Structure 1
Amino acid sequence: MTITRVLAGVAAAAFALTSTAAMAETWRYAFEESMDEVQGKFAQKFKEEVEANTDHTIQLFPYGTLGESADIMEQAQAGILQFVDQSPGFTGSLIPEAQVFFVPYLLPTDQDQLARFYKNSKAINEDFQKLYADQGLELLTMFPEGEVAMTTKSPVESCADLNEVKFRVMTNPLLVESYRAFGATPTPLPWGEVYGGLQTNIIQGQENPTFFLYSTKIYEVTDYITYAGHNNFTTAVMANKDFYDGLGDADKKAIQAASDAAYDYIVDYQKGLADSELEKIKKAKPEMTVTVLTEEQRKCFKDAAADVETKFIEMTGDSGKKILDQLKADLKAAAQ
């Protein structure tokens, strides 16, 4: 921790100096996916906008080039990275309230409603700003990456089918509680261990949005894809706060404008993406079984969601309850 604080201090001082001198800089941006996946596409659009409107350049670091998710977050907080894209699934232990995005059936599956929600949400654009700032991070935006699907080695048509299934989850306390409530044996693992874990039967299931199931070839080591409508994958783009606060107004405006432009771009980019990627999976593995659960089949999962929501409030107290209530209000407004 001492080294981290020293690095953060050195980085903050360096960026304050270069910002004052209005010098062109190279800024570093890491994310959790490949260049061709959703986070990578967002990052490339962000880079394009920043470089078109400032003298600065952005160096992109896709998944694996700087370590796992925990590594890039530590580097962002230390000021080694200026920007980072990370799901609340990995920041849940750092910012407990961010786990709200893993309360099952809180988020709708309608993509247009989701796009309005993330863009206009008071909880995201005001309340979460303060929580991220407390951890040395400037929250630039959050955006959806698609409905989450379960991939397993045996069929899932009810919670009973998950009994004793070792189900990989992100290192997120509430996600652990969610799959425990669903009847599975939740097993937190970094992403780099998931394919091998499924291949060797250390785990028997995992969840991710459809495009990610195809791009990572996770369908090769599972046999069933199940849509229960229980969640939509959320991710957050952040800047190191000392770096951001040390910028001049023109650079701050350029970064915010780039974030807005990349948001609009990525929402449009994802239209039809889940369907096209699912077709690719079916073509690559015709024997793959794809199931969309009926309302009756989803009942046990929805019943379990109430217990998970209660757990979330127990974990986060009044702060979490206020966030949850505001998110529900924001979602209601987006539905209208």
Structure 2
Amino acid sequence: MKISNALKLGAAVAALGVALASTANADTWRYAFEEAMDEVQGKFAQKFKEEVEANSDHTIQLFPFGTLGESADIMEQAQAGILQFVDQSPGFTGALIPEAQVFFVPYLLPQDQEKLQSFFRESKAINELFPPLYADQGLELLTMFPEGEVCMTTQEPVHSPADLDEVKFRVMTNPLLVKSYEAFGATPTPLPTGEIYGALQTGIIQGQENPRFYLESMKMYEVTDVITCIGHNNFTTAVMANKDFYDGLADGDKEVVQNAIDVAFDYILDYQAELDEASFDKIKEAKPEIEINILSDEERQPFKDAAGQVEEAFIEMTGDTGQKILDQMKADLEATN
């Protein structure tokens, strides 16, 4: 471990004010996530906490975005056992588990909410193929769920890939997302979440993408002029436990955890499905002059054509395992039709 990482872990321990001994027997479990308490991951975490505490003697301590650092920091803390639970998008986990980047292959996930929810409930890829990959990294994959349609913000209107030419576009630190925006014609610029607003404000970047609700809650509309939805993705996130902690739980506690995950999963699917339109309504109210464009099928086609390059790049990055997961996801999605 690098010294800088060791210092981060040490600081996290101090911030939490706990010893690392016997976390498996602790009655206070710590759960960090990448968003604010009133955003989708925060709502899921609060429902999970409510269920665990209602059905056991355990308590859940929640740590929203920024409390313990950036996404990379909370993942390190989860792997080290400082945190018992962590919610992190495959967009950040992709460097650790390359196959998780499949969720960033453009136009793979459906826009139809019923099909999307059926996929996340029933997918063999999620429920059978991904857990061993997470386990190899010391993580127990508990669930994955969608957070809403991803849209772009830019300073100028975007109606084709040509409109993204030379646009410095912020992406997560995710190799496949870099490939996506290269294919879309932009100049991808990986940045941590906490730096997006300031980078847009100062002109370091001219564009970025996030779910609709996040554009509203983080006030991205204040530092941008145009929002464009091209239908290319729905933001996905994953809830994990430290594997040593999880494996050390009594069967009854494992049942409490899984039941709480199931209740929170059902709750969040309904919650996030209602967010998209409400979020845009709030943005329009706050900034009436904002330009919001939902591209037509004809306008989306060049972006869809570019998606083939990204799928090929995913296979190159992940080999046979990635191909197996991609094929299974396509089969799972076909089964939802």
1:229-253 Cα distance to aligned partner (Å, 9 max, x none): 0000000000000000000000001
Selected match of 1:101 from 82, 103, 119:
103
Distance 2:137 2:20 in 1: 15
1:300 Cα deviation (Å)? 1.1
Aligned residue number for residue 15 of structure 1: 23
Structure 2 unaligned segments of length 5 or more: list them.
11-17
Cα pair distance change 1:53/1:282, threshold 3 Å: same
Residues 126-165 of structure 1 correspond to what in structure 2 (within 5 A)? 126-165=128-167
Aligned residue number for residue 276 of structure 1: 278
1:271 Cα deviation (Å)? 2.8
Structure 1 unaligned segments of length 5 or more: list them.
19-23
1:299 Cα deviation (Å)? 1.2
Quote the RMSD (CA, aligned, Å).
1.7
Aligned residue number for residue 43 of structure 1: 45
Residues 68-217 of structure 1 correspond to what in structure 2 (within 5 A)? 68-217=70-219
- Is 2:240 the partner of 1:238? yes
1:140-198 Cα distance to aligned partner (Å, 9 max, x none): 00000001000111100000000000000000000000000000000000011100100
AA in 1 matched with 2:244: D
1:2 Cα deviation (Å)? 8.2
The answer to whether the 8 A contact 1:155-1:161 is kept is yes
Aligned residue number for residue 264 of structure 2: 262
Distance 1:196 1:270 in 2: 27
1:63 Cα deviation (Å)? 0.1
Identity of aligned residues (%): 74
Aligned residue number for residue 221 of structure 1: 223
AA in 1 matched with 2:112: D
- Is 2:297 the partner of 1:289? no
AA in 2 matched with 1:44: Q
Distance 1:324 1:231 in 2: 15
1:49 Cα deviation (Å)? 0.4
Selected match of 2:320 from 293, 296, 318:
318
Distance 1:132 1:272 in 2: 30
The answer to whether the 8 A contact 2:75-2:86 is kept is yes
Distance 1:216 1:15 in 2: 34
1:15 Cα deviation (Å)? 3.0
Aligned residue number for residue 249 of structure 1: 251
AA in 2 matched with 1:210: R
Residue range with higher mean Cα deviation, 24-33 or 238-247 = 24-33
The answer to whether the 8 A contact 1:12-1:243 is kept is no
Aligned residue number for residue 13 of structure 2: none
1:332 Cα deviation (Å)? 1.0
* SS in structure 2 of the partner of residue 270 of structure 1: helix
AA in 1 matched with 2:234: N
Greater than 4 Å deviation, 4+ residue runs = 2-7, 10-13
The answer to whether the 8 A contact 1:51-1:58 is kept is yes
The answer to whether the 8 A contact 1:73-1:84 is kept is yes
AA in 2 matched with 1:52: A
Aligned residue number for residue 21 of structure 1: none
AA in 2 matched with 1:318: D
Aligned residue number for residue 302 of structure 1: 304
Distance 2:34 2:336 in 1: 28
Distance 1:332 1:234 in 2: 19
Distance 1:165 1:270 in 2: 30
1:295 Cα deviation (Å)? 1.2
AA in 1 matched with 2:201: Q
The answer to whether the 8 A contact 1:158-1:297 is kept is yes
The answer to whether the 8 A contact 1:11-1:78 is kept is no
Distance 2:202 2:272 in 1: 33
- Give me the TM-score of the superposition, normalised by structure 2: 0.94
Distance 2:154 2:176 in 1: 21
Distance 1:11 1:117 in 2: 40
Distance 2:271 2:50 in 1: 16
Distance 2:187 2:197 in 1: 18
AA in 2 matched with 1:15: T
The answer to whether the 8 A contact 2:148-2:273 is kept is no
Distance 2:20 2:261 in 1: 22
